[in-house]
Chain A
Amino acid sequence: MEVAKYSRGQGADLKALRDKKLKGQLSVKEKLYGQSAKAAAKAEKWLMPNDGVLGPYNIGYTSNGRYMLVGGQKGHLAMMDMLHMDLMKEFEVRETVRDVTFLHNEQFYAVAQKKYPYIYNRHGTEIHCLKEHGKALKLQFLSKQFLLASINSFGQLHYQDVSTGEMVANYRTGLGRTDVMRANPYNAVIGLGHAGGKVTMWKPTSVKPLVTMLCHHGPVTAVAFDRGGNLMATAGVDRKIKIWDLRKYEVVHSYPARAQSLDFSQKGLLACSNGSQVEIYKDFGGHDYKLYMKHKIMKGYQVGKVLFRPYEDILGIVHSMGFSSILVPGSGEPNFDTFVDNPMETTKQKREKEVHALLDKLPPETIMLNPNMIATVRAPKKKEKKTKEIEEEMEDAIEAAKNIERKKKTKGRSKPSKRAKKKEEDVFKAKRPFLEQSDKIDGRPDKKQRIGEEVELPKALQRFAKKPQS
């Protein structure tokens, strides 16, 4: 509360006055000034803060590129219809907003606010408060599975099914706090960039990440995935932007540049935001990415997030003065398919699409690195027949085991049944290495990770090694 603003300067100095009557009257008036200044200051909190800058914005587009959602850091949310340039809904939430994303269409959107993410209606009514997610830093929506994924300040990854409301998975990444999260549109895998330079890829049905790659020498600042599923771009504090091939997990290109945010367009153009400029790289045949366009905004202003608008040649840029969009020829898909995404949808078409999407909702188990593996035939196990030599060796070992001289125990402890049992155990022990050998012959990996079998201990420590069973 800023009372000084309303007090219009300092109060009169009444000590210098000799006139007691005047002094009395003026002191009453000063008191009134003080009270009215306080009251005015109290009323101020009912007014919208008009700093001119409502914090850096986060933006999100629907999958057909028609609606855009902006959420400012200071809590200003607005949804716009970009086709007719209509402001659909604008309101304040009066707390920090860290990320915004649309759900399956413009009817619902999720906002990561100060303590928890909330889900709002297109009218701006708060529908759900997702307490389980905690303090979410980034949100991503997987549209085919209807899963809302969030990463929170403790480094926990949550997956929640927004159609049934069930929390599908919640994993501790174990790599600390990170706010770099991106969903791969090709296979719905979530990629996280960590402070150690690692990029991990997650799916909702496994506790451990699918892939862990060491990408940079310092923290990763941005990650982006290409729609085709083959390329990933990462940027780090080490002033490098690397483009990776996701099949071989190798670097295709490396640029000495900084990037605050990265985004791939539908046609494969890569936008990087860097200080007060935006650079756009294009693939001129054969994954050969070269600089295509550069856009500078007014000096002094920093560019935050960049996001391509689907099905249009437009790149949305968030900077410290607000939001602007630039034309990038060749970045959007010119021919849309009515049954996939229709930028000019009617209400009926939208309703039908929602119903069909719900009917075709994929279970979370279908998320995998290679989505084409479903319904393929597993290669048959090649069982190598035990060679005769191994069989002979096994038989010899069994014979030897049967003929071992066993000590005869006295005092009634050598019962025939016990002796027979001991003999059987010895035979089984003799057979065991041969059986283990045959297990290893299968192509499948050994489920139990036997550590320490091939570790060569230094000489000084060999006395502590577990001796193999004689």
Chain B
Amino acid sequence: MRVKVISRSTDEFTRERSQDLQKVFRNYDPALRSQEKAVEYTRALNAAKLEKIFAKPFVGAMNGHIDAVSCMAKNPNHLKAIFSSSMDGDIRLWDIAARKTVCQFPGHQGAVRGLTTSTDGDLLVSCGVDCTVRLWKVPMLKMVDTSDRTGDNSQPSAVYTWKHAFWGADHQWDGNLFATVGAQVDIWDPDRSEPINSFEWGKDTVLSVRFDPGDCNILITSGSDRSLTLYDLRMSSPARKLIMKTRCNSVCWNPREPMNFTAANEDTNCYSFDARRLDEAKIVHKGHVSAVMDIDYSPTGREFVTGSYDRTVRIFNYLGDHSREIYHTKRMQRVFCVKYTYDGTYLVSGSDDTNLRLWKSKASEQLGVLLPRERKKQEYQDALKERYKHLPEVKRIVRHRHLPKPIYKAANLRRTMIEAESRKEERRRKHSAPGSMAVQPFRKRRIIKEVE
């Protein structure tokens, strides 16, 4: 009679030579593993704690400017380069990897308010309060040559003087036109010394402009009359205007969903709109405690970064109503401009204290090339945190951020005020005739009207 009994020979289960890989045998039977859920939960807790241990978002600061940084520009063809300009007219090209100035572009006689690059990366357009638009030929090849690093001066290839001070500039994505804004919206061709077209709606200053990445003829501007205006270059007059209760400092289109844009408003919120339906905001992003000065989208279109007058930089998920991350330093004063780098890994913030700061977009990310095992481990830990993030212990750790005291206090104060307001509203509604007080969603509350 044959009786089957387990008999294992060590040769089958161990490796032959030390240069072979170790043999791995799997049995996925859950009966072999007890208390799986508890183990997974413990791992999620440990993953959340490790994320906090490795969270070191600040990479470095780039100093060189001698006045506050007013605006920045980036180009998709050159990942390492970023242009920045300051309030005294100094424009610099930085190498982000070395955090040093490659090239300087002197010439402006006042604050430079608008900075933009052409799509192919050869041309830099700058405009400022001295009523001039300067075009520069950008020595991008200089970035490769490491020996010639000292701030080299270039001459502008063209200087156009116009009638009024400029407040912003942006370049078309697919064409070679660029727009500048100030008292009105001007569309320029780089070869002409005068704008080829001008738009105006009302007599107020226009503060910022952005071309739509999806459709090269559409652009949006924000004005000091608390409005957001949509223009179409093919039409002779502006298309649509949206008036809000407070002014928008900056606007940015979502590069992956080009019909959506987000506006950074003075009332500390950011409003995301669908350009086809301007009567209601899609999402209101709350978080900052002071005016939001600048906004930029990540190239993935899934998150955006905002810089605010309250000395912090916040990262939001494109659909999130609260920020996922907040960056602050004692030395960073009012943030005037922020930019996401074109690989989505870093963000650059330019602030009042004349420095540009480089931050990681994921604070605990390990930079550089990861081995496949490291990458898998990271993905597993991210998945664990995602699965257990609603449990109180894990949520507490994942959500925890240290805020500077003034911001913490200001946020608490705002919360108390808003809660008091909403409680009073609720009571008023309860004690008045049903239906006599209209319920207005917050998304509509800050909009006054839409004008054709």
Contact = CB atoms under 8 A, between A and B. Distances in A.
Interface of A: 83, 144, 185-188, 227-229, 311-313, 327, 329-330, 332-344, 346, 349, 359-363, 366, 371-372, 374-375
A332 B5 CA distance: 9
B46 A359 contact: yes
B4 A366 contact: no
A215 B5 CA distance: 35
A310 to B, nearest CB: 10
B38 A344 contact: no
A362 B42 contact: yes
B431 interface: no
B383 interface: no
B38 A329 contact: no
B5 A144 contact: no
Given A329-B3, A360-B42, A375-B388, A338 B26 contact: yes
Ranked 4 nearest A-B pairs via Cβ: A366-B38, A337-B27, A335-B27, A374-B37
Query: Main secondary structure on chain B at its contact with chain A?
Result: loop
Contacts of B10: 83, 344
30 contacts: A144-B39, A185-B34, A188-B34, A227-B34, A329-B3, A329-B4, A333-B27, A335-B27, A336-B27, A337-B25, A337-B27, A337-B28, A337-B32, A338-B23, A338-B25, A338-B26, A343-B8, A343-B13, A346-B14, A346-B22, A359-B46, A360-B42, A360-B46, A362-B42, A371-B36, A371-B37, A371-B38, A372-B37, A374-B38, A374-B41
Given A346-B22, A363-B42, A313 B6 contact: yes
- Among the interface residues A227, A335, A341, which one has the most CB atoms of the partner chain B within 10 A? A335
Interface in B1-57: 3-6, 8, 10, 13-14, 22-29, 31-43, 46
B391 interface: yes
Nearest to A228: B31
Contacts of B27: 333, 335-337, 340
Nearest to B10: A344
B6 A332 contact: yes
Contacts of B14: 344, 346
Interface string B380-397: 000000001001000000
A352 to B, nearest CB: 11
Contacts of A338: 23-26
Nearest to B35: A371
Nearest to B44: A375
Interface residues of B, number: 32
A144 B35 contact: yes
A312 B38 CA distance: 28
A361 B5 contact: no
Nearest to B50: A359
Contacts of A335: 25, 27, 29
Interface centre among B10, B25, B34, B42, by most chain A C-beta atoms within 10 angstroms, is B34
Given A336-B25, A346-B22, A359-B46, A144 B34 contact: yes
Contacts of A333: 27, 32
Interface string B90-117: 0000000000000000000000000000
Contacts of B38: 144, 362, 366, 371, 374
B34 A187 contact: yes
A339 B23 CA distance: 11
Given A83-B10, A337-B26, A366-B42, 17 more contacts: A144-B35, A186-B35, A187-B34, A313-B6, A334-B6, A336-B27, A337-B27, A338-B26, A340-B32, A343-B13, A346-B22, A349-B22, A362-B38, A371-B36, A371-B38, A374-B37, A375-B388
A48 B36 CA distance: 48
Given A187-B34, A346-B22, A312 B39 contact: no
Contacts of B6: 311-313, 332, 334
Most B CB atoms within 10 A — which of A332, A341, A342, A374?
A374
Contacts of A346: 14, 22
